[in-house]
Homo-oligomer: A and B are copies of this chain.
Amino acid sequence: MTIQAPVPPAESLRAFFRNHASGVAIVTGVNAASEPIGFTATSLTSLGTNPPLVSFNVAQGASFYQSLCEGAHVNLHSLTVENLDLAARLAGPREGRFSVADWTSDANGVPLFSAVSAILNCRILKVVEIEKNSVVIAEAISGQLGQAGEPLIYHSRAFKAGGQTLRQNG
């Protein structure tokens, strides 16, 4: 490993996460005006199955943050390479995010994108505020499986395909 000159911690963090891959998900909800809201998330992770909990991060400056409250319903969508355009759209300008007719509303009015590999219907349990961000803890209520496929990943400022299997783990 090359020893580098010291850099500010924020720059070290940015460099670290450019190197670190993540899965790509879409989180959807509804705002106070009953409008669909959503964004492309790379922070989605499991918090165990008993009870079945997940967490994801939302910047306090994000429009989605205004609609976060305990008990609110959100839908999580795991994306494959087939969902590249969807991932880019939900990471783009807010006004265009629901401009394509590839979604429906579920019984709670929360947008559902069906052409994904898996959906998890959740209810927000807790919003933990950490400086300018928030860690959202949500409980899984139900879920649906779609078409399995190569997972979409985010790495080094690019959307990539999950590649070859190196080792099965159980």
**17 examples of A-B residue contacts, CB within 8 angstroms:** A9-B139, A13-B120, A15-B143, A16-B140, A23-B153, A42-B45, A43-B45, A43-B46, A53-B131, A55-B57, A81-B166, A84-B167, A91-B169, A153-B162, A154-B169, A157-B169, A160-B165
Docked CA distance A167–B154 (Å): 10
Docked CA distance A167–B91 (Å): 13
Task: Select one of B52, B126, B163 contacting A10, CB under 8 A.
Answer: B52
Task: Select one of B15, B143, B166, B168 contacting A145, CB under 8 A.
Answer: B15
| Contact A21 B168, beta carbon cutoff 8 Å | no
Shortest C-beta distance, A158 to chain B (Å), equals: 5
A96 within 8 Å of B by Cβ? no
Interface residues of A (CB under 8 A from B): 1-4, 6-7, 9-17, 19-23, 25, 42-55, 57, 59, 76, 78, 81, 84, 88, 91, 114-120, 125-126, 128, 130-133, 135, 137, 139-148, 150-170
Known A13-B49, A19-B148: A170·B141 in contact at CB below 8 Å: no
Residue of B nearest to A126 (CB): B130
Known A21-B151, A84-B167: A52·B159 in contact at CB below 8 Å: no
Docked CA distance A84–B165 (Å): 11
Docked CA distance A81–B130 (Å): 32
Known A9-B143, A22-B22, A142-B6: A55·B135 in contact at CB below 8 Å: yes
Task: Select one of B43, B48, B120 contacting A16, CB under 8 A.
Answer: B120
Residue of B nearest to A49 (CB): B10
Shortest C-beta distance, A24 to chain B (Å), equals: 8
